[in-house]
Every structure is written in C-alpha cells, then in structure tokens.
Amino acid sequence: MDRTAGGWVNGFIGVAIFSGSLPATRVAVMDFDPVFLTCARASIAALLGLVLLLTFRERRPAGADLRPLAVVALGVVVGFPLLTALALQHITSAHSIVFLGLLPLCTAVFAVLRGGERPRPAFWLFSLLGSVFVVGYAALESGGASLRDNLLMLAAVAVCGLGYAEGAQLSRRLGGWQVISWALVLALPVMLPIGLFTMPTSFSHAGAAAWAGMAYVSLFSMLIGFIFWYRGLSQGGIAAVGQLQLLQPFMGLALAALLLHESVSWTMLVATLGAVICIAGAKKHA
C-alpha cells in the first residue's frame, strides 16, 4: 500500500472512531458530571500519551510550538469535549450529530484564517448554504433542545475546527500522533486537579454503560482516533483526507440509532445530507 492510499485508510479509521464520540458521551453524562468526564477522559489519555512519548523518546516541542499546542489543547482536549458533554445532558446524540455537518467547514475556515488561503467566491456560497441547512434544522426541529444547547454545539464545532486546523499544521513538524500526545500532556496539570476535585465521592450510581462510554471517549476519541487521523492527514494530505469528515455525521447517526435506539427523522437526514453536499461543493472551490 502506497503512502497516499495509507493516508486514506488511516483517515477513514480516524473518522470512524470519532463518529462514536457523541453517542458515547451521551451515555457517559447520564451518570457522570460533564466537567468530571471532560477532565477524566483528558487525564487518562494524557497519561497514555506520556507513556508513548517516553517509550519512543520523542524530542520535546520547540518553544514556538507551545502556543499552537495550547490552541490544540483548548480546542480538542478541553473545548469540544466539555461543550458537547454539557449539551448532551439535555439533547440526544442524534440531534447533536447534525451539527457535525459543519465541522469540515469550520476546519476549512480556520485553515483560511491560519494559513492565509484565499478560496473562490463559490466556496463561500456553498458554505453559507450548508450553514443554513444545519442552523435551519436546529431552529425548526430542535427535538426539545434549547437555544443554549444548540449554541453549545455550535461553539463545540467551532473550537474543534480550530483544533483540527492547528493540529494539522503542527503535524507537519512534530508528527501525527505526537501532536495530540503533547497537547494532552500540556493540559494535564490543569485537567487532573480539576478532575480530582470534581470526582464524585461514590461511583455506585454509575452503570456499566456509563463506564463503557467513559472508556471509549478516553481511549479512542481522545487518543487513538487522533493517532490515525493525524497520521492520515500527514500521509494523504490535509485537504484531501480532511474531506472524509463528511462521512462522520452519517456514521454517528447510524450508531445513535443502532446502539442507543434514538430516533433519526427524515428531516434530520435531509439536513445532514444538505450540509454535506454544500460543504463538499465548498471544498471543491476552495
């Protein structure tokens, strides 16, 4: 298998892993506090990442890399997990997954802002139409979601896009899995104390499903998925492999329906499909 084909395979595996993040978070927040869950998943993944970095004797990031690593940490280690956990206390994972249709767009927008790219006007037309599909769905068929929950999901997608774009640039210098590992280690001195402070006095209320959800988001969503994802980006190209994110809403909706038995309406599918088509058009004209 050549390098480019390997990039597509690794990228697809990463997206498939990420597609289970919101359903797993939904299960976990039923029994765990969102702040504790966010800190616990980050701390567990950080300790594993530290073991990897020490085992392979990776060199420390340069001083100039610390600020971008902090942006990655704020986006994908703290921001996205915490904001989605707060929202998923009150909405279904199926509803939240619709917002992932905006994730490729947000990643592209921050690539423009951070990388100085200048897409053609058609790019912004498709981007606007995709946003209308997603925001229109959220407004017309909220499924019990409040404005607060929808805004939390929009903010989560925005910070995640920033973290993806920043991490993709860093991966060219530091390597794929090293980026997320260093970002996790950088956040550990903050996340571990908060996690211990918010830890419940007893875990007797937590069921097996909640523990499984925490294990998934800690091991797969927070670390293993990024190993495949950033490796795929570095092998196959950020712009090309990044388009695989368009599959994530469909995978996530399927998991929500199959594993959590959540209702996936036709309007939800139409909104997701419309967003995906528009973002694909935006990518074509980027």
* The overall pTM is greater than 0.85: yes
Render pLDDT for 219-232 as a digit per residue (tens, 0 to 9). 999 999 998 988 88
DSSP-derived letter for residue 73 is: I
Q: Rounded distance, CA 248 to CA 251, Å?
A: 5
Report, as an integer, the average pLDDT of 59-88. Answer: 96
Nearest to 257 by CA among 245, 246, 247, 269: 269
| pLDDT higher at 215 or 95 | 215
Instruction: Quickly count: other Cβ atoms within 10 Å of residue 124's Cβ.
Output: 14
Nearest CA to 106 among 142, 76, 141?
76
- Residue in this structure with the two tokens 């939904």, named with its chain if needed: 26
Q: How confident is the model at residue 44 (pLDDT cuts 50, 70, 90)?
A: very high
For residue 176, give the amino acid letter: G
**Model confidence at 181: pLDDT above 90:** yes
Average pLDDT over residues 244-271: 83
Please check the confidence at residue 115 and state whether its pLDDT lies above 70: no
Q: What is the pLDDT of residue 244?
A: 82
Distance (Å, whole) CA 17 – CA 37? 18
Residues across the chain = 286
**Nearby residues of 120 by Cβ (< 8 Å), 6 or more positions away:** 285, 286
Check residue 144 and give its pLDDT.
Answer: 65
- With b for 16 or more beta-carbon neighbours within 10 A and e for fewer, the 195-221 pattern comes to beebeeeeeeebeeebeebbebbbbbb
pLDDT value, residue 240:
64
Task: Categorize the per-residue pLDDT at 110 as very low, low, confident or very high, splitting at 50, 70 and 90.
Answer: confident
Cα dihedral 217, 222, 224, 225, rounded to 10, equals 90
Band the pLDDT of 151: cuts 50, 70, 90.
Answer: very high
Tokens 């918010």 found at: 198
Closest by CA to 77, choosing from 112, 44, 31, is 44
Per-residue pLDDT at 272 exceeds 90: no
Task: Give the number of domains in the chain.
Answer: 1
Q: What is the pLDDT of residue 143?
A: 61
**Angle at 108 (CA atoms; ends 17, 250), nearest 5 degrees:** 35
Contact call for residues 79 and 163 (beta carbons, < 8 A): yes
261 DSSP 8-state letter: -
CB atoms within 10 A of CB 164: 28
Q: How far, in Å, CA of 213 to CA of 226, rounded?
A: 18
The range of the structural domain enclosing residue 229 comes to: 3-284
Say yes or no to pLDDT of 254 above 90.
no
Percent of the chain with pLDDT over 90: 49
What are the structure tokens assigned to 150, written together?
């929808």
Query: What CA–CA distance (Å, rounded) separates 115 from 87?
Result: 31
